[in-house]
Amino acid sequence: MRWRLAGVATRRNGWVADADGLNPIAILNGHFPSSTGPQPQNFREWLERSRADVLFETSSLDAQTGQPAIDHIRTALELGAHAITANKGPIVHAFRELAALAQQVKKQFLYEATVMDGTPIFSVFPMGLPATELRGFTGVLNSTTNVVLTEVEKGRSFAEAIRRAQALGVAETDPTADLDGWDATVKVAALAIVLMGVPVKLEQIQRTGIRELSEEKIRSCRAAGMRYKLVCRAERRGEGVDCSVKPELLLAGDPLANLEGTSSAIRFDLDVFGLSIVEHNPGIDATGYGLLADFVRAVKIP
């Protein structure tokens, strides 16, 4: 498989496109090339100039609108490029439209990196598990709350635990989206929409963050062999699906109770058996790997 980097668009360093190829090592070392010719006026112009076969969409999540990622992906597919994203917004707000467009233009719209990094979740369905019915799932899908709860168990205050998660590079500068359960809620929606075929809205998901938990209670439960985790649940109910994200007290023997650090896990309840997938101790490169894996799947000769 051969590739070249035909364009880079960043928030801070500007946009550059060259269909003949850019030097990725130079860019990684901080030498952002100065543009030749007039600057592209918008995303479409930039992508046209790159003549890219594949777009990697890694803009920040806007949970309320899914933009601008939706427009980026739509434009890529319209221009005949595969669209690969690590952004959950387009799944939650425009999955059917983008999947239909991809099918129409015979390009791939792939998003494995949106949940549990590069772990095969979306890729396992349908061909890993054909002819099954997915009745629901249970998961621990947010690393920041995992790290924070573990640190509080060890005796730190919430504030200290959050600083520790930030120092580890797990929590963002503003940890609100994680602590209030937004990140997990968006993941639940993405999984239910794609894997269960139900167009769940974020406001239909019951959401409780971990801020209201008592530090004392977290520690006393831990001493008694139980652990709080921010648990994600979805259960098919008629045509719809009941979803929730909330702190739950788990027995120590529960596989979800033993997750530490950046590890995450999901259990799928299938008609034929239960199936759990656990990702152990991924680093930031695991998300990059998810994009790479989608790239290989998109361009492989079938």
Nearer CB in complex with a second copy: 100/299: 299
Measured CA to CA, the distance from residue 260 to residue 157 in angstroms comes to: 18
The alpha-helical segments, DSSP class H, found in 62-121 are 69-78, 89-105
Could you give the dihedral angle defined by the CA atoms of residues 37, 43, 47 and 53, in that order, rounded to the nearest 10 degrees? 160
Q: Between helices 69-78 and 43-50, what is the axis angle to 10°?
A: 40
Instruction: State the Cα–Cα distance between residues 55 and 69, nearest whole angstrom.
Output: 11
CB of 239 to a second copy, least distance (A): 25
Q: How far is CA 109 from CA 85, 94, 184, in A?
A: 8, 12, 22
CB-nearer residue toward a second copy: 210 or 293: 293
Nearest alpha-carbon partner for 266 in 113, 129, 119, 144: 119
Give min distance, CB of 282 to a second copy, in A.
4
Shortest Cβ distance from residue 150 to a second copy (Å)? 12
Tell me how far, at minimum, the Cβ of 135 lies from a second copy, in Å: 13
Structure tokens that stand for 302 in this block: 């079938």
| Interacting residues toward a second copy by CB under 8 A | 117-120, 123-124, 127-132, 252-255, 258, 265, 267, 272-283, 285-286, 289, 292-293, 296-297, 300, 302
Query: With respect to a second copy, which residue has the nearer C-beta, 167 or 301?
Result: 301
Nearer to a second copy, 167 or 296 (CB): 296
Q: Which is nearer to a second copy, 132 or 204 (CB)?
A: 132
Minimum distance from residue 74 beta carbon to a second copy (Å): 26
* DSSP code, position 112: G
